[in-house]
């Protein structure tokens, strides 16, 4: 069995978050969806669990970070092209996301980001497999 990754994110309004990510083209696994959480499918091995803040809090004794004020992580997802990067960021902005920075083009890599409705930082990137430097430095 391939290794799977489940990223867990607290959200203030689960239905609103589902509507937002649906506009970006994502689907959800109904088997792992109820009034407390949903499982957003990114790929066959990558899933984002959107959990209400109250439910998320049951998994930790630490304070939940207000992602509008602090960054808890940056979620970076690869795409097949620069156009795909721009397409997802444009969809996110149209659905209510904020764009913290302009796109960055490093020649071999192109990336752009947005903050979702709860302030979580999402990056989408494309890398040219033929243009990769031997090492970054």
CATH code: domain of residue 4:
3.10.180.10
Regarding whether 98 and 136 lie in a shared domain, the answer is yes
**Same domain as 41, residue 93:** no
pLDDT at 24: 98
Torsion on CA atoms 54, 55, 56, 62, rounded to nearest 10? 60
- Assess whether pLDDT exceeds 90 at residue 136: no
Structural domain ending residue among the three candidates 16, 33, 60: 60
The answer on 134 and 85 residing in a single domain is: yes
Check: pTM over 0.75? Answer yes or no.
yes
Domain count, the chain: 2
Element (H, E) at 104: strand 104-105
* Cα separation values, 61 from 58, 65, 67, 120, 123, Å: 8, 12, 18, 20, 28
Instruction: Give the model's pLDDT for residue 131.
Output: 73
**Same domain, yes or no, for 55 and 72?**
no
Q: Looking up tokens 């803040």, which residue turns up?
A: 53
Q: Are 127 and 95 in a shared domain?
A: yes
Domain that holds residue 82: 65-137
Using the predicted structure, report yes or no on whether residue 8 has a pLDDT greater than 90: yes
Give per-residue pLDDT as tens, 71-130: 889 999 999 999 999 999 999 999 999 999 999 999 899 999 999 999 999 999 999 878
**Number of CB atoms found within 10 A of residue 69's CB:** 7
């Amino acid at each position: 069995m391939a290794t799977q990754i489940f990223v867990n994110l607290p959200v203030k309004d689960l239905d609103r978050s589902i509507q937002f990510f649906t506009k970006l083209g994502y689907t959800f696994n109904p088997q792992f969806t109820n009034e407390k959480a949903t499982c957003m499918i990114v790929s066959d091995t990558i899933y984002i669990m959107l959990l209400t803040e109250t439910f998320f809090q049951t998994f930790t004794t630490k304070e939940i970070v207000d992602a509008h004020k602090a960054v808890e992580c940056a979620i970076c997802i690869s795409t097949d092209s620069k156009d795909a990067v721009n397409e997802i960021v444009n969809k996110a902005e149209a659905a209510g996301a904020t764009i913290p920075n302009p796109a960055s083009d490093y020649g071999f890599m192109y990336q752009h980001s947005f903050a979702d409705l709860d302030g979580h930082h999402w990056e989408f990137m494309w890398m040219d497999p033929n243009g990769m430097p031997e090492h970054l430095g």
